[in-house]
Structure 1
Amino acid sequence: MSEKKNVLKDKSFSFAIRITNLYKYLSTHKNEYVLSKQLLRSGTAVGALIRESQNAESKADFIHKLSIAQKECDESIYWIELLFHTHYLSSSEYESISSEATEILKIIRSIIITSKSKNS
């Protein structure tokens, strides 16, 4: 039996891996601990919340969990921007991880909108 492909689950897990590796890099090579720890928390929470949403107790719970994932993803984008503007990330590093976060955010928003329209 083949499991249906879940693009958002896969993308958010890959993003969490990148965030974890970025945290290790920033703390080891740049001696940056505060901003990167905030990014680690929000960036890894996205995938965890998406996983939680898969076991939601209701449609409203599903939307609620994804809404929190949306907030965490947007917060991650904030920390990424701040790390870039304070010169901890190069332009190419920033563009790469920022575009990945933005893509995930757009997918989450789309699912929430679709779910809400089906709910009414």
Structure 2
Amino acid sequence: MKDDNVIANKSYAFGLRIIKLYLHLKSNKVDLALCSQLLRCGTSIGANVEEAMGGSSKKDFKHKLEIAYREARETKYWLRLLNDAAMLENKLALSLITDCDEL
């Protein structure tokens, strides 16, 4: 990965945070379906950014970034839901939501 690609770097770092959060939630016996949904969409952001970087055309590039954007919106939804259900520490949730908004 290029060091100067801010979106790729931040989406990768965000994906790592989501994996750690998934493991934390799972160990605290939060419903596996909720944890898995967050894991899938939260790590999909960076995967779609990577795919966009290797896009075969400008249209393909744009399409992959649009998917990454939608995955970020879904991730934010799950983070808000887990926070409002008191399954996440508020400070942690707000930090993740801020990072998600930034992406």
Specify if TM > 0.5: yes
| Distance (Å, rounded) in 2 between the aligned partners of 1:96 and 1:4 | 23
Question: What secondary structure sits across from 1:61 in the alignment?
Answer: helix
Give the residue type in structure 1 aligned to 2:95.
S
Gaps of 5+ in 1: 105-120
Work out which of the two has the higher radius of gyration on C-alpha atoms and give 1 or 2: 1
Residues 1:75 and 2:74 aligned together: yes
Residues 21-64 of structure 1 deviation map (CA, whole Å, 9 limit, x = unaligned) = 00000001243312111000000000000000001111010000
The farther-off stretch of 44-53 and 28-37 is 28-37
Give the residue type in structure 1 aligned to 2:6.
V
Residue correspondence of structure 1 range 59-98 to structure 2 within 5 A: 59-98=58-97
| Distance (Å, rounded) in 2 between the aligned partners of 1:67 and 1:84 | 26
Query: What residue number does 1:101 align with?
Result: 100
| Distance (Å, rounded) in 1 between the aligned partners of 2:49 and 2:32 | 26
Give the residue type in structure 2 aligned to 1:55.
G
Query: What residue number does 1:41 align with?
Result: 40
- Asked if the contact 1:50–1:69 (Cα under 8 Å) also holds between the matched residues in 2, the reply is yes
Gaps of 5+ in 2: none
- Asked if the contact 2:30–2:87 (Cα under 8 Å) also holds between the matched residues in 1, the reply is no
Give the residue type in structure 2 aligned to 1:84.
N
Residues 71-93 of structure 1 deviation map (CA, whole Å, 9 limit, x = unaligned) = 00100000000100111011101
TM-score w.r.t. the length of structure 1 is 0.81
| Distance (Å, rounded) in 2 between the aligned partners of 1:20 and 1:4 | 22
Structure 1 moving runs of 4+ over 4 Å: none
RMSD value, Cα:
1.1
TM-score w.r.t. the length of structure 2 is 0.94
Give the residue type in structure 2 aligned to 1:6.
N
Query: What residue number does 1:5 align with?
Result: 4
- Asked if the contact 1:30–1:88 (Cα under 8 Å) also holds between the matched residues in 2, the reply is no
Query: What residue number does 1:21 align with?
Result: 20
Question: What secondary structure sits across from 1:89 in the alignment?
Answer: coil
* 1:4 Cα deviation after fit: 5.7
